[in-house]
Structures are given as C-alpha cells and as structure tokens.
Amino acid sequence: MTTDSRTWFYTTPEPRPYYIEERVNHTLWKNRLQTLSMTCTQAVPPIRMEGNWQGNAVTFEWQPGKYFILRMSQESRELIGVLRQMLMMRPALSYEDPSGLHVVEWHTDGGADRWRDVQGSPEFQGVRRLRKD
C-alpha cells in the first residue's frame, strides 16, 4: 500500500483504528522510521496514536487539515525532521508541557493563535517559535 499524509492528515480518514494505523505506520516506515509502530487510541478527531521509538514514548494527536501535535519523552530531532517531511510543512512551535514531555506542533494556518496561547502560559517551559507566517 502506498500512502502518505494526504490520506490521513490532509483528508479525514475513516474512523476505523486499523485503517488509521495502517496508513500512518506505512507512511512512517516509508520515511525511514521502520522501528516505530503507532497504535490508534482515538479514531475520531482529534485523532490520537501512541507508540515507542528507541525507548522514547511517542504520541501523535491531530485534527485533519488543521494541526498535528507530537509529544515525546525526549526530544528527537530525527523524528521531528521526518515528520516535517511527511507533513510537508515546517513545525510552528515547540515547548515542554506540564508533564515534562517535549512537544512539537505543526499548524496549517501557521500557528499564530496557538503561539499566543502557549507563550502566555506559565505551565509551558522552553517555548520556541519555529515558523512565522
């Protein structure tokens, strides 16, 4: 099966966990992340998936066509770079959330509203703007 982010991010996938897992995992594997396998924990938007990559807990959350959020226990520039290629856009912002996870967000609208929300909140640490539109 040939798949890319157009089949699960830029369009709303069928709300069936297996189909979402198949599309996302094939996209990951096609993009050099053969050891990452994600499990769908919520098949309706916002869609959520969980996995483990190189001992690093990883979660995805996204609203098709709007935003994609990567959470991981430790920052991985390799994973962030591959997701950037897969989503075909630069990430908008990054920070550490209240639970200590490293978070990177992609927004199709550039993320200016989200930036204002995160930047003004003391619960988020190390907030960085990565994309300005």
Q: Could you report the per-residue pLDDT of 118-127, keeping only the tens digit for each?
A: 988 899 999 9
| pLDDT for 2 beyond 80 | no
CA distance 85 to 51: 19
- Domain layout of the chain by residue ranges: 5-129
Whether the pLDDT of residue 1 is over 90: the answer is no
Count how many residues are written for the chain. Answer: 133
Determine the average pLDDT of the residues in 56-82.
96
The answer to whether the bond into 46 is cis (omega within 30° of 0) is yes
pLDDT in tens, 11-49: 999 999 999 999 999 999 999 999 999 999 999 999 999
Name the average pLDDT for the chain.
94
pTM: 0.94
Cα–Cα distances (Å) from 99 to 18, 96, 106, in that order, read: 29, 8, 20
The residue-averaged pLDDT of 99-110 equals 96
Distance from C-alpha of 104 to C-alpha of 109, rounded to nearest angstrom: 15
